[in-house]
Structure 1
């Protein structure tokens, strides 16, 4: 289960991994916490389209449906309202009733209900800074971590279904300096202009994940790109994000990265499969329903950052928005800015679930 803030996030973060697991027969569900109602129209060719201007909310739902068909995954709207990205000095308050200001019990219970209905073995979401300085991304992280913990607790949200404990939750990997450097050098070697030069010249040190899981999914980069382009209002097909040829992306960095956050099974240093360590589907199902599991791995930087309190949300949002200036020169829109400028182009053996039932992410 991949939990995202807005429609199009699922196509710019981990989309090739989604497509790979779907193609391998796994069940994958994307959860969109909001409808993206307050997003901008970023495709110049569509900015004056009267239909889009009249009903952006429905247009974005239609775009999500198209992207879902490309990826082949299931999809659920969590049902909350886009908070928008505050801009200005001083920053304006967030709009009343938006996702980032919703009662945390309400948002957490909503996601717990989806988890208990779908019963995923693995979840993915954003890191403690949301991967991108947007209030909805920060809230998505906090709600995802709270719901991951609560879903297996029979005392938590008893009206939301029978307890089910997902066994692992990962953060989506963003761009790293190694990744940008490799792509930059490959572009120059081909005699092409690299879109990464300024980015690398102005690079600021970032937290390095304790462990990284790499999913070999270069064969699905074209699917990823088609899914992103399905969000026509949110991406310029001739723009910055598509300047690196697909062949270079596949050859130089043909995988997507995830950071293990919390796991109830052992996590290897060199994972190449989100389902590593789970064993058979029957074994995983037994663990997920057994109760009283002991956490085996905690890769969170600061467990306090996952405290679902209003103060924690406000502090995290303020910190993340303060970081926005660094990204603003490069960001094309408010929901794909943490993707690689070439789009987010980006096992211990291949997973081998039973033929009757595949594991769920």
Structure 2
């Protein structure tokens, strides 16, 4: 263990994203003594109620914001992590052809420097060694997810530069930036094939066919985190987001014994490293621990 406590920051677009992407990883590191901070860019105000068992949320955007703040607090408690709101407003997921314009004042329409400045301030205050976020596609084409990537990448590069965002605290340069890979095609195929071979229904068949038909490119996975012991914490965090997660729905459609046997890890893509690394990795702090031990 290093003399200085290791710190991990996970930057997400909405409340519930931290529970569906890399949740077991953050719970594992938190249990191991790492200081873990989840940063949530928006309040999730425009999220629909996706759990048919929940009912309706009254009070418009303010009402939904209040509910999702309570859910986020419960999810953070389940994972054993800290959490910080950046304070931007959910952009919603536009649908239709052509797509409708995004709402005025939403996160995806905030100028990049204005959206990045508060994240730079949090980075300089928290001083993470590692940051995780989404790849340039956002993982899927939600405007807030794409914006979350842009803001995270900009903040990672700028936070250590004293000439940039000079009014946002003392410079701090994080050492590694990772992209989440929560639903890789390799993972879906492995679980799908195991379920079909066992004569069980798979939730991934149509999804695999759709991705293959659209020729969605698979990004490189560099880092496999063995964190299956913390899948129960992940599941508890998912259930905490009761407006968004149906306990009888997609996220719980794969029997846990099948998941444990076929895919007991969470995956990441190392986007940038300021320390020497050897790929593939099994630790987000690989290279950082070695650097500290060499001191």
Q: TM-score with structure 1 length normalisation?
A: 0.75
Are positions 1:157 and 2:165 aligned together?
yes
The 8 Å contact of residues 45 and 62 in structure 2, kept in 1 or not, is answered as: no
Q: For each residue in 1:192-211, what CA deviation from the matched residue of structure 2 results, as whole angstroms up to 9, or x when unmatched?
A: 11122222333323333344
**1:75, CA displacement in angstroms?**
0.6
Please, which of 239, 243, 248 is the counterpart of residue 229 of structure 1? 239
Classify 1:49/1:232 alpha carbon distance in 2 versus 1 (closer, same or farther; 3 Å).
Answer: same
Corresponding residue number in structure 2 for 1:23: 31
Q: How does 1:43-192 map to 2 (within 5 A)?
A: 43-48=51-56, 50=58, 55-192=63-200
The 8 Å contact of residues 171 and 261 in structure 1, kept in 2 or not, is answered as: yes
The 3-state SS of whatever aligns with 1:159 is coil
Classify 1:110/1:254 alpha carbon distance in 2 versus 1 (closer, same or farther; 3 Å).
Answer: same
**1:113, CA displacement in angstroms?**
0.1
Cα separation, 2, equivalents of 1:239 and 1:52? 25
Q: Say what the alpha-carbon RMSD is for the aligned residues.
A: 1.9
Please list every run of 5 or more consecutive structure 1 residues that lacks an aligned counterpart in the other structure: 287-361
The 8 Å contact of residues 108 and 143 in structure 1, kept in 2 or not, is answered as: yes
Q: For each residue in 1:137-171, what CA deviation from the matched residue of structure 2 results, as whole angstroms up to 9, or x when unmatched?
A: 11100000000011000111111111000000000
Cα separation, 1, equivalents of 2:278 and 2:290? 18
Classify 1:281/1:66 alpha carbon distance in 2 versus 1 (closer, same or farther; 3 Å).
Answer: farther
Please, which of 216, 232, 246 is the counterpart of residue 256 of structure 2? 246
**1:281, CA displacement in angstroms?**
7.9
Classify 1:68/1:235 alpha carbon distance in 2 versus 1 (closer, same or farther; 3 Å).
Answer: same
Cα separation, 2, equivalents of 1:251 and 1:145? 34
Cα separation, 2, equivalents of 1:84 and 1:139? 12
Q: TM-score with structure 2 length normalisation?
A: 0.91
Corresponding residue number in structure 2 for 1:267: 277
Cα separation, 1, equivalents of 2:221 and 2:95? 34
Please list every run of 5 or more consecutive structure 2 residues that lacks an aligned counterpart in the other structure: 1-8
Number of aligned residue pairs: 285
Corresponding residue number in structure 1 for 2:3: none
Cα separation, 1, equivalents of 2:156 and 2:184? 26
